[in-house]
Amino acid sequence: MTRHWTQLRRSRLSRRSLLRASARAGVGAAGLALVGCGGDDDDDQQSVAQAQPEQEQQQQAMQQQQQQQAMQEQAQQQAMQQQQEQQAEQQAQQAEQQEQAQQEEELDRSTAQEEAEVSEVDLDAELIVGYGSFPPTLDITTAGGGGGQGASNNLHFAALAAYNSGRVIQAEGGFGDWEFTEDLTSFIWRIKEGVTFHNGEPLNAESVQFYWERILGRAEYNPDFESSLRARAGWMGDISIVDEQTVSIVMDPPFVDAPEQSGGINFGLLPKQYIIDNGDDHFANNPIGCGAYKFMSWIPDQEIRSERFEDFAFPHDAPFQWKAGWAKYITGRYFPEEQARAAALEAGEVDIAYRISPDVAKQFEDRDDFKVIALPDVRVMALELPVNQSLDPITGEENPWRDVRVRQAANYAIDADAIIDNLLTGTEERAYSPFPAGYDPPIGNLPGQYNYDPDKARALLEEAGQVGFAFTITLPTGLWTADRIWMPAVQQMLNDVGFQVEVDYADFGNALSLIRNNEVPNPFVFNQAGVSSGAPLGPAFAYRLITTVGAPYSHAQETDDFLPEFEEFQTLINEANTEFDLQRANDLFHQASVISYENAFQVPLFGLPHLYAVRPEILYNEYYDTSTGLNAIYAQKLKT
Amino acid sequence: MRSELGATAVGRLLRSIAVVFGVVSIVFFMSRGAGDPVSRLAPIDATQQEIEDAKERYGLNDPMIEQYGRFLWDIVRLEFGQSFRATRPATDVVGERLVATIQLGAAGLFVAFAIGIPLGIVAAVRRGGATDIFSRIGALFGQAVPNFWLGLMLILFVALYIDWIPTGGRTTPQSIILPAITLGSFPAAAVMRFTRSAMLDTLQQDYIRTARAKGLTERAVLFKHALRNSMLAVITLLGLQVGNILSGAIIVETVFAWPGLGQLIIQSIVATDYPVVQASVLLTSVWIVFINLIVDVSYTFIDPRIRTGAI
């Protein structure tokens, strides 16, 4: 009980409020002292006047003189007092600003902490993480299991490929090395020797072949197995074993993104014999992988316990993302309600409250006994505009979005920085493309970028004759951070320059379904990229999903009446998608992105960070420049 | 008399089956209108063809009436198909959660009756007194305060004070305390009010005056005569409160991370996991109807006037 009130008091009496109060108290005390002195003088003068009536005139003159002097002094004192008050207020404001800057700095610092020495880390610790979502099954290859990234998949499973910190897939250095054959008809994985799964089964060519055969429904033990990853394997032909540690996959047709789509982070390796012997259901409840932690126990929607895999293939300081775990045990606990998750952290039941909203993060920002970690996300919020339909599907008249001035007006109208600073955490990054700000070369450095300029937006809209243009924005809600907080601001900013915007706050799943079925003809908000600074082929993934012709979350369809600029953009994307020279592909994607930006095919907004509140003894070092979420493997619990 | 009792029971049973049929039919059509589960569960880069193939596999492209017919036939065989999310039979998924919800529901009912009945008795006996006023104010709050808010307040102001009460989960025996209080608060208020009003009514009856005139102790008058005769109304309430408890569990289980049926229903609705939603709703509706049936039939044993149609 005592601990709670101490914490509560500490959080309420923040340094800022103490500074402000002390400044005001100082001024008040000085003022009271001055008024008190003046009062005493007045009393003295009155008593002298009553006691000696003969010298009244002289005394009156003297008194008047004294009064004048006193008034002058009082005026001076009042002026001084006002000056002091002003100075004190200024000092308080400065102190407040300094503190605010310091807090922001602290928040920034918390994202990039120094890694502790091994001797400082408690290697026998149990790290308890409070998650907001749990998977319904622990088989990573199923639809439900694929969603268990934080609580299960990151810990138990490992995939073939290695990535550098910029999320660039590496040809060598992971659980497998890869290469394309010279004729580009096949793709080869050479599997690292000496690696075992948690049950001692070796990782070899058979495991990798079985992995894909199972997903494709070709595995003899159960051809009916349904994997959600089958969609990713449409390019795969025969999968054959070359030798004990080498697998060859026929590409039908040649596929530039084969390394990512066969050995990328979503494709956690599985033990063949274990699954054949025990069946899919058993595996879904008792997963075995070759990740940094081995599965111990699972109570659905309650708890997943894992233990560090001492025979993991890589050490703590491995050069790529595969690193040995720090804590001896990791326990994931499920708290669907965000405030309950935060309370569990406060009560000491968990060490990390996973993915919290900016509002909840603010509760922990000023506290000495907690830290907030903000990790930038690879995905960027953007407004997808319907530029290729000749008619407005709502009014049946000419589509106003075909006019570049209207699209640019929408871009100039939104003050993303103000939203970031005032409504979000301040750690979000302003976006200039569907990719994070660090994408190299940075599109945000182009001349004529769309920074907030409402006058220009109004002028463009007037020039286009579209003042009062009414449209609806569909916002899939329920997944993206603070969506109902920043969207009204976007709406208001667009309205302020002359648009008439309505927002359709649609359930996430339903909105996704409608967008995929091309049943959302109006602008919609989407969030997808998966690329970091300098990452070649990163845009390939993003443009497979958004903006381009036929992509599931794009307005553009084959039958549309394409703008000439859009055709140019699409041609570059098509070329990039079939370009095996990574540098050349990257250049093509960049050229396409510049065209997209200059022609304002979208309204990029910002990248939302993921926020976590942690206990002070937790140090977290994110391996990637931009992350998809906190990976508990990298978290260090210090000795206390 | 036995045949009258049988006819009453059969009549009530037929009505109950009709209610369950209505509920599952409404759930079937409403869940179909809630969205497309395949689009939601498919990988973000799945092609349209792959989504169509999955819909075909799950029979979601068939005409609605055909799907409905298949659904009714499946119910008869107690087959609800595979959960889209968990890729296991929906009945297994639902069955795993049942124990947790029954446990919480029973604890919630215990809280409701353990608080509501004594308070109702005291309030009736000391009508107009301080206890009565405070009980009625308490009942007002109990029925007005939403349980999600009460749950969060209990977490913030009780679980954080008392180390041995966890903020959520079902990991220790103490875990049930706060969710049970939250769940039981609303029905406790109703039980208190029902008990109070039934007791007041009974205490004004002639037989109570007669009992007092016979020189019985006040304790005997209250507990042997007044309370027993007031319990009919409270038993009626038990049937109603089972439904309230189950619907309240949906929110309470989410707030307290209690892995029961309520939490599963929320997850399944969000994921448009029809088979699990249907299995859960069927189970809960059958449970509520069954309890009400038992309550109805039990009247006929408790009060012969109902059996004979005297009232």
pLDDT above 90: residue A147: no
CA distance A498 to A468: 5
| Higher per-residue pLDDT: B125 or A499 | A499
pLDDT at B54: 76
The values of phi and psi at residue A620, to 5°, are -130, 125
A-proximal residues of B, 150-179, CB under 8 Å: 152, 155-156, 159-163, 166-171
Out of A303, A507, A544, closest to residue B45 by CB: A544
Contact list in A for residue B84 (CB cut-off 8 A) is: 143-144
pLDDT at A523: 95
Work out the number of other CB atoms within 10 angstroms of the CB of residue B7: 10
CB contacts < 8 A, A to B, total: 143
pLDDT at A466: 96
Taking the Cβ of residue B87 and every Cβ of chain A, the question of whether any pair is shorter than 8 Å is answered with yes
Out of B43, B93, B159, closest to residue A347 by CB: B159
Out of A142, A302, A346, closest to residue B160 by CB: A346
Chain-chain contact of A340 with B168 (C-beta, under 8 angstroms) = yes
Give the tokens for residue A294.
Answer: 């081995």
DSSP letter assigned to residue A548: S
Contact list in B for residue A516 (CB cut-off 8 A) is: 39, 48, 51
Report the interhelical angle of A564-577 vs A582-598 (nearest 10°).
160
Q: Which SS3 state, helix, strand or coil, does residue B276 take?
A: helix
pLDDT at A613: 95
A-proximal residues of B, 168-227, CB under 8 Å: 168-171
Out of B43, B257, B264, closest to residue A228 by CB: B43
Contact list in A for residue B103 (CB cut-off 8 A) is: none
Lowest-pLDDT range of A204-213, A489-498, A499-508: A499-508
CA distance A514 to A287: 35
Rounded mean pLDDT, A448-476:
93
Q: Using an 8 Å Cβ cutoff, are A607 and A429 in contact?
A: yes
Most confident of A264-268, A463-467, B61-65, B138-142: A463-467
Which residues neighbour A554 within 8 Å (Cβ) at sequence distance 6 or greater?
Answer: A384, A545, A546, A547, A548
User: For the segment A293-349, what is each residue's pLDDT rounded down to a tens digit?
Assistant: 999 999 988 999 999 999 999 999 998 999 999 999 999 999 988 889 999 999 999
CA distance A143 to A137: 9
Taking the Cβ of residue B147 and every Cβ of chain A, the question of whether any pair is shorter than 8 Å is answered with no
pLDDT at A76: 65
Contact list in B for residue A331 (CB cut-off 8 A) is: none
Contact list in B for residue A267 (CB cut-off 8 A) is: none
pLDDT above 90: residue B30: no
Place A445 in a pLDDT band, splitting at 50, 70 and 90: low
Most confident of A406-415, B76-85, B216-225, B242-251: A406-415
Chain-chain contact of B259 with A545 (C-beta, under 8 angstroms) = no
Residue of A nearest to B52 (CA): A517
Chain-chain contact of B35 with A510 (C-beta, under 8 angstroms) = yes
Q: How far is B134 from chain A (nearest CA, A)?
A: 27
Chain-chain contact of A552 with B159 (C-beta, under 8 angstroms) = no
Place A117 in a pLDDT band, splitting at 50, 70 and 90: confident
Taking the Cβ of residue B41 and every Cβ of chain A, the question of whether any pair is shorter than 8 Å is answered with yes
Q: Using an 8 Å Cβ cutoff, are A422 and A488 in contact?
A: no
> Does residue A37 come out as left (phi exceeding 0), alpha (psi in the -120 to 50 range) or beta?
alpha
| Residue B280: its H or E element | helix B274-302
Residue of B nearest to A541 (CA): B45
Contact list in B for residue A541 (CB cut-off 8 A) is: 45
Out of A232, A333, A336, closest to residue B45 by CB: A232
Q: How far is B282 from chain A (nearest CA, A)?
A: 21
Q: Using an 8 Å Cβ cutoff, are A84 and A12 in contact?
A: no
Longest distance between any two alpha carbons in chain B, whole Å: 86
Q: Which of A224, A260, A301, A508 to mutate to test the interface with B (most CBs of B within 10 A)?
A: A301
pLDDT at B242: 80
Taking the Cβ of residue B257 and every Cβ of chain A, the question of whether any pair is shorter than 8 Å is answered with yes
Q: How far is B149 from chain A (nearest CA, A)?
A: 11
What DSSP assignment string belongs to A358-397?
HHHHHHHHT-SS-EEEEE-BS-EEEEE---S-SB-TTTSS
pLDDT above 60: residue A350: yes
Out of B162, B166, B257, closest to residue A336 by CB: B257
Place A87 in a pLDDT band, splitting at 50, 70 and 90: low
CA distance A460 to A464: 6
Rg of chain A over Cα atoms, rounded to whole angstroms, equals 32
What average pLDDT does the structure give for chain A? 81
Which residues neighbour A289 within 8 Å (Cβ) at sequence distance 6 or greater?
Answer: A140, A156, A157, A158, A197, A198, A268, A269, A270, A271, A295
Q: ipTM for the complex? A: 0.81
Q: How far is B101 from chain A (nearest CA, A)?
A: 13
pLDDT above 60: residue A234: yes
Taking the Cβ of residue B48 and every Cβ of chain A, the question of whether any pair is shorter than 8 Å is answered with yes
| Higher per-residue pLDDT: A285 or A45 | A285
pLDDT at A179: 93
Q: Which of B31, B32, B38, B44 to mutate to test the interface with A (most CBs of A within 10 A)?
A: B44
User: For the segment A520-562, what is each residue's pLDDT rounded down to a tens digit?
Assistant: 999 999 886 555 444 445 666 678 788 899 888 899 988 889 9
Report which of B264, B258, B288 is spatially closest to residue B93, judged by C-alpha positions.
B264
pLDDT above 80: residue A36: no
Q: How far is B270 from chain A (nearest CA, A)?
A: 8
Out of B87, B256, B264, closest to residue A226 by CB: B87
Contact list in A for residue B171 (CB cut-off 8 A) is: 302-303
- Cβ-count burial of B116 within 10 angstroms (0-12 exposed, 13-18 middle, 19+ buried)? buried
Q: Which SS3 state, helix, strand or coil, does residue A297 take?
A: strand
Place B5 in a pLDDT band, splitting at 50, 70 and 90: low
Taking the Cβ of residue B56 and every Cβ of chain A, the question of whether any pair is shorter than 8 Å is answered with no
Chain-chain contact of A528 with B44 (C-beta, under 8 angstroms) = yes
User: For the segment A617-626, what is each residue's pLDDT rounded down to a tens digit?
Assistant: 999 988 887 7
User: For the segment B249-291, what is each residue's pLDDT rounded down to a tens digit?
Assistant: 889 999 999 999 999 998 888 777 888 988 998 888 888 888 8
| Higher per-residue pLDDT: A541 or A129 | A129
A-proximal residues of B, 100-129, CB under 8 Å: none
Q: How far is A172 from chain B (nearest CA, A)?
A: 27
Q: Which SS3 state, helix, strand or coil, does residue A97 take?
A: helix
Q: How many residues comprise chain A?
A: 640
